Amino acid sequence: MKKFWNFIQNEDTSETELLFNGPISEDTWWGDEVTPALFRDELAKVSGNLTVWLNSPGGDVFAASQIYSMLKNHKGKVTVKIDGIAASAASVVAMAGDETLIAPTALMMIHDPSTCAMGNKADMEKAIILLDEVKESIINAYETKSHLSRNKIAKLMSDETWLNAKKAHEMGFVDGILFADNKKSVPEKENESDKKEPAEEEKEDTLTAMTYSKSKNLSAFLSKVSASAESVTGTPIDQLEKRLALLKY
């Protein structure tokens, strides 16, 4: 069993921090009694507030679901801080924060689950039903956090949507941006040369808050992301336990 998490004690605040750096479980939690129990036991030892540092391309959908539930059930305040990337299943974990913050340079990515199946027409139809239900379960987490409509979230997932910090905040997937200074300085005197035309200012905001979706221009970047964040593998659809064991998001 290879741990993909690490609990540490912050020397400055004396509070516990949970680090996720890499895939959320390289092996499935389905049928695994040891790994989720170990995570639960370590989390149970944490009293008070918890900060979760998240930098992950995704991973096992069932691990993400259990971690989400365990964090939501934690007695103290849970603050999730995305410092690199929260993609795929890792974005579900990010939704567990009582407060979720993202670094200005970080990214979120949400997409549809996928799987491999073999068999006849009925097997393929069952695979589609399974994927639909997995997607609906993921939407539940996004909807609770962002309060966006289910149709809107479903469309974002189908488009494989990349969100920079500003857009993730604007859409409600996070509650704030790390290191942001909310205080606005008021200039003593505004020169005519300092003024921006409304159209120009609006254009700048649009570019800054760009949503990155599936396109050819992203191929070079996406190739650097772990394959576990982009694909889901599975076994024949009539073997439920084996199929679920390999389902990733």
The tens digit of pLDDT for each residue in 216-247 reads 334 434 444 444 333 343 444 445 555 555 56
187 contacts: CB under 8 Å, gap ≥ 6:
194
Answer whether residue 38 shows pLDDT above 80: yes
Residue 39's pLDDT band (boundaries 50, 70, 90)?
very high
Answer whether residue 9 shows pLDDT above 50: yes
Q: What is the pLDDT of residue 14?
A: 86
Q: What is the pLDDT of residue 32?
A: 85
Q: What is the pLDDT of residue 198?
A: 45
User: Does the pTM of the predicted model rise above 0.85?
Assistant: no
Higher local confidence (pLDDT), 54 or 203: 54
Answer whether residue 206 shows pLDDT above 90: no
CA-nearest of 30, 33, 49 to 41 is 33
Answer whether residue 207 shows pLDDT above 90: no
Answer whether residue 89 shows pLDDT above 90: yes
CA distance 43 to 233: 29
Q: What is the pLDDT of residue 25?
A: 87
Mean pLDDT of 94-118: 95
Where do we find the tokens 């859409």?
Answer: 171
Answer whether residue 22 shows pLDDT above 60: yes
Answer whether residue 46 shows pLDDT above 90: yes
